[in-house]
Chains A and B, each alone.
Chain A
Amino acid sequence: MERVLEAAKKISDKAEVYYIEYGSDTVSFENAGFKDVESRIQSGLGLRIIKDDKLGFAYTKNPSQREELIRNALDSLKGGVDGSFDFPCTKDLPVPDTYDPSLKRYQMPGW
């Protein structure tokens, strides 16, 4: 994340990186019978830049593709979206704990 941000700052006036990781399990039933289970382990990285008061954006699943990500964000500046604002400063914000460990007690009956 930091390396993408450093590289992006060199070619823009302001830059912001958003990174997310998530996992999911989807279980489906049909006619009261067990039909399917699918899992996902996903991550992704979004880059917003502001250059000459225009806003640019690009995303990728692969943070190692820094150059392509930055080039795509630069290309999107052609859209001419107004960027005369500042990105929110989130560096020192506290991280709220939104996970309730009691969720672990819920199990599928019989599993």
Chain B
Amino acid sequence: MFEKLRAMLSKTSAQYADIRYEVKKETKIVFNGRELFNIGANSTDGFVARVLKNGGLSSVAFTRAADADKAVRIAEENALLMSRFSDKPVEFAKTKVIKDTFLPRLDEDPRGISLDEKLRLTESYNALALRHERVVTTNIYYNETVREKYFLSAEGTEIREDLVTTSIGGLITARDGTLTQNVRVAAGSSKGFGLLRNREDEFEKRTGIVLDLLNAEPASGGVYNVVLNQDLAGVFTHEAFGHFSEADLIEDSTMREKMQIGAKLGNEALTIIDDPTIPGQLGFYRYDDEGVRARPVTLMRKGALTGRLHSRRTAAAFGEDITGHCVAEDYRYAPIVRMGNIFIENGEKTLKDLLEMLDDGLYILDAKGGQTSGENFTFGAQYGYIVKGGRIKNMIRDINISGNLYHTLQNITAVGNDLILCETGGCGKGQLNIRSCHGGPHILVNGVVIGGI
């Protein structure tokens, strides 16, 4: 394949060019309630060529090898157009020339497991939820995405890497009279099919939560001190903070002034890292889609901004080191700056310590949608509890959390020691990143606006 890719780039006179070929194999099984709604596997493939010429960068995605000459010619023309009309010539930060094949070790390769077996496992988890009378419907899916990637650059880099992502999860909905509640359930990773087996406890636990929610009281709106669990801490870290650590998002925005390296933006208790190199985690990879080896980046240390995530272009534009965070959804897209595994680093407190420090407030768990608008965010939560005197009391439902990023970073006053990274993800920054992984330990946050009745 590399010979073929080299030949495709051979006619360009650009100062830099690269080409990526990918085979993408997807398997999907979907149950809506008891009905098998969708089942099937598909294999697609294609190329993305990028050209940097006279300071203009452009990309072309194409699916037929026979179109390669035409595609490279269009990319060159577009790059020249960019250079004529853009006032900022593009440069690429230097990176090592790499020749490597990285096929991660899997706990059961899903490519070797029959569709029938995948169907039986998904059906069995779905049935666990549906056997309860008050569970009125489910939307449970099996998703498997295999990206078999080949990357070649005119600088001499040749990388072959596989990304295998599997997950089973979805939504469980329960009803009692006019009250309807739902919770999400998820099992998955980049590690293979094995992690999806023997997860009955997770599906039982989530079903128990949605049934309990039918007896929970609605949250009362107000300003509270709260303990957030790992998933909510992770979603806050990804959505409210992480996106402003992506260099391409802030480079032409007013946020760039606030996100200066060294700025003291958060509480002393807070250290935030993005590390795509943790094997087996959802956001794990060795090389990004520019052929740069990924490395962990400490984005915030003890409240001070210490780093950000880069492509080769943004690293040169900011005059900072490359990090290996330029990733594409698949063969249809040029890569953009993305998070890998982003998380709050462990502190020293146990959950019991945090609840005692909280004294009176709310314990809120698991994210349920949300949005950000500039530095302000709103997230839903799946469920929570009233905490009195450091003890967990009644369950609450219908919870929304709102806040300002910078106020909240200052108000995270204590950090737990029980870091968990999420098992499924999906970040939609123009392209979908199903391997976007977030997490954290439990955290104590003061003065959070809670929406409710």
Within 8 Å of chain A (Cβ to Cβ): is B432? no
Closest approach, in angstroms, between the C-beta of B110 and any C-beta of chain A?
A: 14
Question: Which of chain A's residues have a CB closer than 8 A to the CB of B60?
Answer: 38-41
| A36-B45 contact, Cβ under 8 Å, with A42-B61, A58-B40, A75-B115 | no
Question: Which of chain B's residues have a CB closer than 8 A to the CB of A78?
Answer: 36, 39, 115-116, 119
Within 8 Å of chain B (Cβ to Cβ): is A84? no
A75, B40: Cβ atoms closer than 8 Å? yes
A60 to B119, CA, bound (A): 22
Per the 8 Å Cβ criterion, residues 22-69 of B in contact with A are 36-46, 58-64, 67
| A34-B86 contact, Cβ under 8 Å, with A39-B78, A76-B40 | yes
Question: Which of chain B's residues have a CB closer than 8 A to the CB of A36?
Answer: 58, 82
Per the 8 Å Cβ criterion, residues 16-58 of A in contact with B are 25, 30-31, 33-34, 36-44, 56-58
Within 8 Å of chain A (Cβ to Cβ): is B87? yes
Closest approach, in angstroms, between the C-beta of B117 and any C-beta of chain A?
A: 12
Contact with B along A71-99 (1 / 0, CB 8 A): 01001101110000000000000000000
| A39-B74 contact, Cβ under 8 Å, with A61-B44, A75-B41, A78-B115 | yes
Question: Which of chain A's residues have a CB closer than 8 A to the CB of B70?
Answer: 41
Contact with A along B70-81 (1 / 0, CB 8 A): 110011001001
Chain B binding surface, main DSSP class: mixed
Contact with A along B179-202 (1 / 0, CB 8 A): 000000000000000000000000
Within 8 Å of chain B (Cβ to Cβ): is A13? no
A30 to B63, CA, bound (A): 29
Within 8 Å of chain A (Cβ to Cβ): is B134? no
Question: Which of chain A's residues have a CB closer than 8 A to the CB of B82?
Answer: 34, 36-37
Closest approach, in angstroms, between the C-beta of B92 and any C-beta of chain A?
A: 16
A103 to B222, CA, bound (A): 57
B86 CB contact (under 8 Å) in A33, A57, A75: A33
Q: Which residues in A have some Cβ–Cβ distance to B below 8 Å? A: 25, 30-31, 33-34, 36-44, 56-62, 65, 68-69, 72, 75-76, 78-80, 111
